[in-house]
Amino acid sequence: MEYPSVSFQNQERAAALNREICGLSAHAHAAMAQVARASAQFDAIGGWCAGGIRSFAHWMTIDTGFDVRTASELLRVGQALESLPLISEAFRAGQLSFDKVRQITTVATPASERVLLGVAQGASGAQLARICRELRRIAEAEAPKRADEQLARRGLWMHWDDEGMLVLMARLTPEDAAQLLREDPATRA
């Protein structure tokens, strides 16, 4: 289909439609923010737990018409927003779309929230998806390294001493040691 360019005669109409589309989109984004927040609260109280309903997403497909993936994402986003007040407020104000919020909540932390909010407000949806995908890749590449380094150094060694007694020596991760000792690793000095 060939589209005519905006002519002098229809510039005012194009500008009015532009304002209408942007305004309605902001209202839709704000409504999705309310849906995400209410979803997290509804799930937290088990509101969906009734005869035959298997999960929040299952309930949502029946009662709201969202597909399972969108329902799951709305719940995940709603839960993430509880610790991301700046992103939550921008979403509620209709300044960020659900698509953008869905992307940044996969990588945002309270410490990185302000920076990622600025990135999300300045990037297109496609640009933000690429940025967040790269941030997830970096985080995933670094996380196993730290865990693997600790796991590589852990071990259990044993030998028999001169008196015929078995001597055990272990090197454990803080989590494994806490489980063995039944203590909270955070309380250790």
Work out the pLDDT band at 177, boundaries 50, 70, 90: confident
pLDDT tens readout for residues 50-83: 888 989 999 999 999 999 999 999 999 999 999 9
Out of 1-5, 9-13, 43-47, 55-59, which region has the weakest mean confidence (pLDDT)?
1-5
Mean pLDDT of the chain: 89
Q: In 10 A of CB 167, how many CB atoms? A: 10
pLDDT exceeds cutoff 60 at 90: yes
pLDDT given at position 184: 60
The proportion of the chain whose per-residue pLDDT surpasses 70, expressed as a percent, equals 91
E strand or H helix that includes residue 158: strand 155-160
Q: Which two tokens stand for residue 128?
A: 């933000």
- Residue 106 to residue 81: CA distance in whole angstroms: 11
Overall pTM > 0.85: no
Contacts for 21-27: CB closer than 8 Å, 24+ residues apart: 25/94, 25/97, 26/93, 26/94, 26/95, 27/94
Confidence grade of residue 187 (pLDDT, cut at 50, 70, 90): low
Interval 91-144: pLDDT, tens: 999 999 999 999 999 999 999 999 999 999 999 999 999 999 999 998 888 776
**CA neighbours within 13 Å on the CB side: how many for 82?**
12
Residue 175's pLDDT is what? Answer: 79
Q: Which residue did the predictor score with more confidence, 80 or 164?
A: 80
Does residue 176 carry a pLDDT above 60?
yes
Alpha-carbon dihedral sign for residues 143, 148, 150, 156: positive
Query: Is the pLDDT confidence value at 2 over 80?
Result: no
Reported as a pLDDT band with limits 50, 70 and 90, residue 6 is: low
pLDDT for position 50: 82
Amino acid identity for residue 91 in this structure: F
Winning range, highest mean pLDDT, from 14-23, 151-160, 170-179? 14-23
Three-state SS string over the chain comes to CCCCCCCCCCHHHHHHHHHHHHHHHHHHHHHHHHHHHHHHHHHHCCCCCCCCCCCHHHHHHHHCCCCHHHHHHHHHHHHHHCCCHHHHHHHHCCCCCHHHHHHHCCCCCCCCHHHHHHHHHHCCHHHHHHHHHHHHHHHHHHHHHHHHHHHHHCEEEEEECCCCCEEEEEECCHHHHHHHHCCCHHHCC
Name the nearest CA neighbour of 58 among 67, 158, 36. Answer: 67
Averaged pLDDT, 14-22: 95
- pLDDT for position 4: 66
